[in-house]
Each structure stands twice: as C-alpha cells, then as structure tokens.
Chain A
Amino acid sequence: MKIIKLQTLCLAAAAAWLAWSPAAKADPADASDAQVDMQIDDQPGYQPSAEEEQLAGPFERQIVFFRTTEAPGTIVVHTADRYLYLVQPNNRAIRYGIGVGRDGFQWAGIRKIIQKQEWPDWRPPPEMIQRQPYLPRFMAGGPGNPMGARALYIGGTVYRIHGTNQPQTIGHAVSSGCFRLVNADVTDLYDRVPVGTKIVVKQAADL
C-alpha cells in the first residue's frame, strides 16, 4: 500500500513538474515536421525492434499478380510505387516494399546484379560528414549498420539493393538512389537471387 502511495506521489509530483516546466510549453511542431518529409539522416547503430521491422499492408512482402514480358527470376523496380518485384512463373511476382531515391536521385535502366554481400559496410555520405565531422568515415557491417543485413550491387552504377535499420523509411523517397528493404526482406531476396540476375528499374508501371 505504501508503495502504491509513493508511486502516486511520484506521478503527481512529476505531473506538477511537467506542467510547470518551460519545456512543457515548447512547440512540438518542429519534431513532427521532420517525419512528414522523411528528411531524416541515417541512424548508425540504431537497432529497430522486431515490431518496427514487421511491415503491414501493401509494403508487406507478398505474392501478387504481375503481368510482364520479363523472365521469371528478373527483378523489376517500380520507383514511383515503391515496390520491387521478383518475377515468378505464371504471371506472379513476389512484391517487396522499398525505399527509393529522393527527388533528383532517382534513375531508370536495365542492369545486372554483379555482387552480393552479407552485412555490408557503410560509408557516411560526404554531406553527412560535413554536418557531423566527428563521424567515422567507415563503419564495419553488423546489426545497427545503416546498410542493413544484405546488399546486392547493381552493375554499372553506384547503387545497391540493401537492407536498412530504419524500417520507417520503407515506402518513402529517402535515399541517394539505392533501393532499401527491411532486413528480413533483403535477406529473403538475397537468398533467391544469384549474381547475374537482370534488374529493370522503371519510374512507374507500363500501362
């Protein structure tokens, strides 16, 4: 009983403190604005929970009807829709939700996967080093690494399909041209796709 009373006292005291505190009167708008545009930096070291990594709705990995002339095993990216398809037989595909390049960093073309890497390393982009000069210029791969659990390197470009430690960025245009999937999805794709796989990157689906 005494414990309950003490907790009640603590809560009441904390509530009074918060009500009085100047911090409680601060405008919370600036915190939420950053999320609206997804103008968020990489978060090296951040390890999302299993709940955060579990996508729901259209961005959850699923088999869908997919009419294409591309052969089974081909990767097709629809940038505008934020989907990556792995073509399957019989007009089907496995669809993954992805994060894509932000405005000015999107591209299209036909390439091949030339290399695969488990737990790839990460190098902060130059603009991030400029803002945070103390950052390491190289961070070895592992949990919490912004490059996530797997990477598939796209030949003839500087771009990759890779994982992420920021699952909340799936479905958004946030990257510098790479395609990012949650770690479970990129691992699934990695296991299905050999080096040499054709990848077709489109801005939108053909009508």
Chain B
Amino acid sequence: MPISTPSTRRFFLVAASLFTVALAACNSNQSIDAGAQQGVPATPSKIASDKLVGRWGVAAYHQDSARQRTEAEARRQCSNPYTIKAGQNGGVIMHLADQSEPQELFLKGSASGSTYLGPAGMAAVAADREIVAISDNSFTIKWVSPDNSSRYGTMVYIRCS
C-alpha cells in the first residue's frame, strides 16, 4: 500500500496548518515585535536615497533631555564617521542591527506617512529603522524593534564635511 496518497498528503497539510495555528495561539500574547515583524505595505518613499549617502558622525540617546548634547557629540564624531554608500538598486549600503556586514537597504514609505529604512519588502518590520527627522545635514532614526530601540536608542547622524 503506498504511503503517500493524495488523501494522506491532504491530511498532513491540514494537520500542519492546524498545528501552526495552535502554536500561534500559544504565543499570541508574548511577542512584542509581532506587529513590527508583520509590517505594513510599503509605498514609494518621499525621501530620496541619495540624501543618506555620505559620511556621518553618529551618536545616540535614550532620553529626550539628552538630545541637544547628543547632536553636538555626533558632530564631534566625524573623526570616526559612519559611511553610507549608494547601492546598485537604488538603495543605500548600511548595516542592519547586529549584522557585521553591510547590505543594500531601502527607504520605504507607508500609508501613515512615516518613512522606514530596511530590507526590501514590507515597511515597519522589526529590522527597520524609522526616519523620524531629516534635513540636508542630519537625520534621526528610531529602531522599530523595541529590543533594538532599547539597546541603541535614538540615533542622530550629522553630516561630516
């Protein structure tokens, strides 16, 4: 008797689906990043990628009261800048959090008007940063993932001449 009949395969498919749903139910109140992982459909970004290309002094803070001081410190960090290059596909070459190698990341718009920076695909996923402020000479990001945000804070990039 053959083991893999169409009805057997259907049974396993249904069983696997139910199993996945059951597991999701088990974890439904635990995953703080669940919403961020899912993300929202990306729309074209209103910010051009080339606005991020260049050499930047980088500093971070966790409390708003430290923002001004952090901006001044970011300016002082141009002796050890972080360099952002243009990618081959219209993105920018940057690191994701906790990744030692840079990769091409993309600016992604969203229906809410927020702009995210991260891997191609959905916007506001856990790997993304949100661009919360930008001008010709600086930009500020917040990490979407609460874990990354807790560790790295709000990061200020000041353009080095």
- A residues apposed to B, CB below 8 Å: 6, 9-11, 13-14, 17, 43-47, 121, 126, 129, 131-145
Contact = CB atoms under 8 A, between A and B. Distances in A.
A33 B98 CA distance: 20
Contacts of A134: 82, 94-97, 99
B151 A44 contact: yes
Interface in B97-115: 97-100, 102
A144 B80 CA distance: 24
B22 interface: yes
Given A10-B26, A14-B23, A138 B97 contact: no
B80 A137 contact: yes
Contact of B22 (A9, A139, A140, A143): A9
Interface in B119-161: 149-153, 155
Interface of B: 19, 22-23, 25-26, 57-63, 66, 69-70, 73-74, 76-77, 80, 82, 94-100, 102, 149-153, 155
A180 to B, nearest CB: 19
Given A17-B23, A46-B151, A140 B82 contact: no
Contact of A13 (B22, B57, B153): B22
Contacts of A47: 150
B70 A45 contact: no
A132 to B, nearest CB: 7
Contact of A140 (B23, B62, B99, B151): B62
B43 to A, nearest CB: 26
A6 B70 CA distance: 50
Given A10-B25, A17-B23, A138-B74, A44 B152 contact: yes
A43 B151 CA distance: 7
Contacts of A6: 25
Contact of B19 (A11, A17, A139): A17
Interface of A is mostly: loop
B93 to A, nearest CB: 11
Contacts of A136: 58-60, 74, 152-153, 155
Contacts of A9: 22
Contact of B59 (A126, A129, A139): A139
Nearest to B22: A13
B106 to A, nearest CB: 16
B55 to A, nearest CB: 12
Nearest to A13: B22
A45 B100 CA distance: 19
B66 A10 contact: no
13 contacts: A6-B25, A9-B22, A13-B19, A45-B152, A46-B151, A136-B59, A136-B152, A137-B58, A137-B74, A138-B58, A138-B74, A139-B153, A142-B63
A17 B19 CA distance: 9
Contact of A144 (B19, B62, B74): B62
A135 B77 CA distance: 12
B23 A13 contact: yes
A140 B152 contact: no
